[in-house]
Structure 1
Amino acid sequence: MKLTGAQIVIECLKEQSVDTVFGYPGGAVLNIYDEIYKNMDSIKHILTSHEQGASHAADGYARSTGKVGVVIATSGPGATNLVTGIATAYMDSVPMVAITGNVPVSLLGRDSFQEVDITGVTMPITKHNYIVKDVNDLADIIREAFYTAKEGRPGPVLIDIPKDVTANQAEYEPVVPKKVSRCSKNITTESIEEAIELIKNSKKPYIYAGGGVIISEAAKELKDFAEKVQAPVTCSLMGIGGFPTNDDLYTGMIGMHGSKASNLGVTACDLLIVVGARFSDRVIGKPDKFANKARVLQIDVDPAEVNKNILTYHSVIGDIKKVLQQLNDRLEEQNHTEWLSEIKYLKEKYPLKYPTDCVSAQYAIEKLDEITEGEAIITTEVGQHQMWAGQYYKFKEPRKFLTSGGLGTMGYGFGACLGAKVGNPDKIVVNIAGDGSFRMNFNELLTAVRHNIKIIVLVINNGVLGMVRQWQTLFYDERYSFTTLNQDLDYVKLAESMGAVGFNITSKDQVEDVFKKAIEETKPVIINCVIDKDDKVFPMVAPGKPIEDVIVE
């Protein structure tokens, strides 16, 4: 049957079982939006306040559900407003399809009104991108884009569609989507056997887990593996939730703001088993001192990550779930009682701690964990509050902690919170923000109110750009260059002016009551939690220092 390009877009989204898209209309995508209007019974559209918010919402939807997030924007500035969100998804391996409009094919390359070469702009931050100049190619490109976004190491894909292509007609026949299979072609018997020998010969094994565990749905396999190896487990920021943070084997985050027990343990281990992690500079500190007593066994789906930042002794390339299943099937249970006792001692000697004589972010987050029983989905912006969330909320399952790890995008959390709540309507979803990040995206509160998306935003308000100020205090002789906000903002009135509900927290005895009221509310909620401007995130490793050189206060 003959359909217009715009109709083909919608039919292909239905083929891929897309139930929600996030976006913002404009001239170049009017034909697509006209078809969205006609198909509102099968595809929900969430109109955000800004295209960047839409891209982060698609990202949060994808991370929290495991599905592909979809975002639509018009040409020119609409498309370029997606760039930060696409880059965020790319750095954290999030499956997303971004659909942008463009000027008609005949006007491409002529500096036409609202024309941007968005495929050129996004080439470094997408797995692949396309510009569709012939409507006859449109359906196959959309199908290929969804497959590419999901297969192997996931990531964002962009499809740029000139306006006349959405108006032209082509033959369309429905196609069952190609199934994405787990990457296993590089998993050899030899590589598995060598990994097992390394584990058997180790007396002090340590597991360092990253976001790949969550992406490959391998949380159960990782837990079984850790118990079989009898090894302690540390996670990168992106790996949080891939292993239960309330488990006895878990030692906390690793790296710049990792626990002292994790950093000292990894430094002392003789085998570091790296599962779905990429050795970020924020994890390894001084590279030649990182785990320098250990052989490194790396398990990853992406061969490009092996020997990129840290040289490995052995690697197994393939889907994390598949690799761990094979290891678990063949590996005998190990006994490392003495090593685990040593790590337990470090955990007891160097616990996380914070001042208890006043309201603090750490206390608020611990109380939020207690009240929600660790079952909420937590999104964050970027800064001190992000680290405190990773340290003090107890994530027992994957896809509950959504944060911008690779790009470090201030402004990510509010959009991600919206997307996560849309994808998980029965879950409590909380965005933990700093007051600096809140300034970047609070326009999306209008989106939450417009669509009645019942989220909670906990603003950790210290009146400064907290993490940058912390660095200025420690490394720049307290020269606070443009990090003091001093904004006289009434968060309660701001929330109410937009149709939401606001609360203030200025003392510890208010925390529990406010959280309970916020959870019971039927409208979006903003909580302004006031803390001291000089509260700091500890532990901390100074940049360029070995990770065992931990500042604890």
Structure 2
Amino acid sequence: MKFYEYINKTLKEYGCRKAFGVPGGQVKPLWQNMDDIEIITCAHEQEASYVATGYSKASGELVAVITIGSPGVTNCASGIASANMDSVPMIYISGQPPVRFKGLGSLQEESQVNRSFDSADILKKLTKQTIEINNITNAAQIFSDSCKKALSGRTGCVHISIPVDIQAMELPESELIHKKAEKKEVAIPNLPKITKPLVIIGWGSWQAKATKQIYELAEKIGAPVLVTSKASCCIWGEHPNYLGKLGYGYNPVLEKFIEEYSPEQVLVFGSSMARKNVSESFLNIIKRATTYLYSIECEDVTFRFPSGNWIQVDDMASMIKLWIKNVKPSKQKIHYNLKTVRENQMRFFSDNINDQDLMAKAILELNNLCDETCVISADAGNHLLDAAIMYEPKQIGGMFLDVGIRAMGSGPCTSTGMAVALRDKFQIAVTGDGSMLMNGNVMAVAKRMNLPILFLVTNNSSLGRVRIGQMDEQKFIGTDLENIDFTMYGKTFGLKTYTASSIDEFRSAMKKILAEKKTALLELLTDKDEIPPSLKGKPLF
């Protein structure tokens, strides 16, 4: 069996169905022989890594990225780092020139000679593991172990660098037999004694496929539910126990409720308690309670919240199911009307929207326009802040706030990957003019595959979030993005495009788009001095 055949076979066995990448001579043997894996060609390696990330986040599957080495690796670095930070199970395969040419100055070589570099060195801190295969004798075992590594414990990205000649070599017969890892029985922690609980859902809950069970548990024990911004996909706006958002959506109305509610136990599922989600004032409230933090790893959690009780959980879904089965329904029901609290939070933000705040008004209007098939996403910029606070998905999986290293330009790509995974949903990629200038070419993939996705481009002719930071000096340097026609940009890829400069035009265009739910672009022309409601009255940078 050739090594490329083994790679194809092994990826399939580990549940990988899609590979994203850019072809090149260094990966030709593999690229030409992925018979069981659908390869989706992207315009740029960074685009490929972001699209793959979105696909895996939506599908929950192991995903592959394939590029040449050297420039392919450096182009991929941001997306790979983002995927690993978000615990995305990914195998990144990069090529190299033949082993015998290493260090001799081949085109796009990797070595330690003449200021060159090895991709494994570059990606060491950006991945769960990185390894270079330079011998066929143990290549199969290394690749199989790498797939296990990507999927075990806290999942993540594993990088494998494979020279082009090794990809096409015949594997030794002995290499085709591997020891299967024994499945360890793990004790399930007990549910602590509950009197007055509060539940926090983090991104790890989505990764563990435990979100619905956590809401069921919350209902049974009478606990209000908060969701971190990274876990926006876990918001269940119609659930009676859903209370609100941490991070971007945190607000005085919510804090007042939590202060008055004064929880005695806080159950945190799959959150690292990062400060972007947990403010100092919120921490001061929950420190008065007994806090239990359930996650796979403890290093980040215990460092950020040392007063909490960390409990390692390898199978969160099974743990919650067992708890639901054994716990008695709480006699003390929530005596607060959480729906009213949620409505008051939305009113707090909407009251800060002025007539000229078209971006915020448009995001708010999406609540009325979108049905349960719509999935909203946002990457980095003012549009992210508006989406995070103004949109309230009714069902689980209705919104993803692109996180990772919080890179501009990631959103159009990750939303495209989600559209590949979820053909029965309609993706609305809320993005900005700056982000589209970085990775708008991903529209080629969306159109070629006829994906159900709208690129909603908020065009304020500036790098708006940076511009807001310059307002205190009224000195705007290098933030203007004038005279860019994104509708024309979309048309070059064959997309149906729309333009709106008022809320009525936006509403009219969205109704047409949602009636068809096909690949489209809507350019929303907004004021470059619009400030998101969540920033008004605060230091602007």
Range into which the TM-score falls when normalised by the shorter chain: 0.7 to 0.9
Deviation at 1:111, TM superposition (A): 5.6
Instruction: Tell me if structure 1 keeps the 8 A contact 2:15–2:61.
Output: no
Instruction: Tell me if structure 1 keeps the 8 A contact 2:376–2:428.
Output: yes
Deviation at 1:461, TM superposition (A): 1.7
After TM superposition, the score normalised by the length of structure 1 is: 0.86
Q: Does 1:483 align with 2:479?
A: yes
In structure 2, C-alpha distance between the alignment counterparts of 1:377 and 1:178, rounded to whole Å:
39
Q: 1:398 to 1:342 in 2, by over 3 A?
A: closer
Unpaired segments ≥5 residues, structure 1: 543-549
State the match for 2:381 in structure 1: 383
Question: Residues 306-455 of structure 1 correspond to what in structure 2 (within 5 A)?
Answer: 306-318=301-313, 319-337=315-333, 340=336, 344=340, 348=344, 351-353=348-350, 354-355=352-353, 357=355, 360-455=358-453
Query: What per-residue deviation string (whole Å, max 9, x for no partner) do you get for residues 431-459 of structure 1?
Result: 11011111111122223233433421001
SS in 2 for 1:467: helix
Q: 1:360 to 1:156 in 2, by over 3 A?
A: same
Instruction: Tell me if structure 1 keeps the 8 A contact 2:59–2:422.
Output: yes
Deviation at 1:231, TM superposition (A): 1.9
Question: Residues 151-550 of structure 1 correspond to what in structure 2 (within 5 A)?
Answer: 151-171=152-172, 185=186, 187-188=188-189, 192=190, 195-197=191-193, 199-200=194-195, 202=196, 205-266=197-258, 268-286=262-280, 289=284, 291-318=286-313, 319-337=315-333, 340=336, 344=340, 348=344, 351-353=348-350, 354-355=352-353, 357=355, 360-473=358-471, 476-485=472-481, 487-520=482-515, 524-540=519-535
Instruction: Tell me if structure 1 keeps the 8 A contact 2:360–2:533.
Output: no
Q: Does 1:56 align with 2:45?
A: no
Deviates more, 1:341-350 or 1:268-277: 341-350
SS in 1 for 2:216: helix
Deviation at 1:26, TM superposition (A): 1.4
Q: 1:256 to 1:359 in 2, by over 3 A?
A: closer
In structure 2, C-alpha distance between the alignment counterparts of 1:20 and 1:375, rounded to whole Å:
23
Instruction: Tell me if structure 2 keeps the 8 A contact 1:231–1:249.
Output: yes
Residue type at the aligned position of 1:465: L
Query: What per-residue deviation string (whole Å, max 9, x for no partner) do you get for residues 175-212 of structure 1?
Result: 8996997x972534xxx2xx522x23x4xx32221101
Q: 1:18 to 1:196 in 2, by over 3 A?
A: closer
Q: Report the identity percentage.
A: 25
What CA RMSD, in Å, does the superposition of the two structures yield over aligned residues?
A: 3.0
Instruction: Tell me if structure 1 keeps the 8 A contact 2:243–2:338.
Output: no
| Residues paired across the two proteins, number | 526
State the match for 1:44 in structure 2: 38
State the match for 1:545 in structure 2: none
In structure 2, C-alpha distance between the alignment counterparts of 1:22 and 1:250, rounded to whole Å:
36
SS in 2 for 1:223: helix
SS in 1 for 2:349: coil
State the match for 2:92 in structure 1: 98
Q: 1:231 to 1:481 in 2, by over 3 A?
A: farther
Instruction: Tell me if structure 2 keeps the 8 A contact 1:73–1:101.
Output: yes
Residue type at the aligned position of 1:94: V
In structure 2, C-alpha distance between the alignment counterparts of 1:146 and 1:536, rounded to whole Å:
45
Match of 1:19 among 11, 17, 35: 17
In structure 1, C-alpha distance between the alignment counterparts of 2:517 and 2:337, rounded to whole Å:
48
Instruction: Tell me if structure 2 keeps the 8 A contact 1:9–1:142.
Output: yes
After TM superposition, the score normalised by the length of structure 2 is: 0.88
Unpaired segments ≥5 residues, structure 2: 111-116
Instruction: Tell me if structure 2 keeps the 8 A contact 1:56–1:415.
Output: yes
Deviation at 1:348, TM superposition (A): 2.7
In structure 1, C-alpha distance between the alignment counterparts of 2:527 and 2:263, rounded to whole Å:
38
Instruction: Tell me if structure 2 keeps the 8 A contact 1:214–1:398.
Output: no
Instruction: Tell me if structure 1 keeps the 8 A contact 2:232–2:400.
Output: no
Deviation at 1:227, TM superposition (A): 1.0
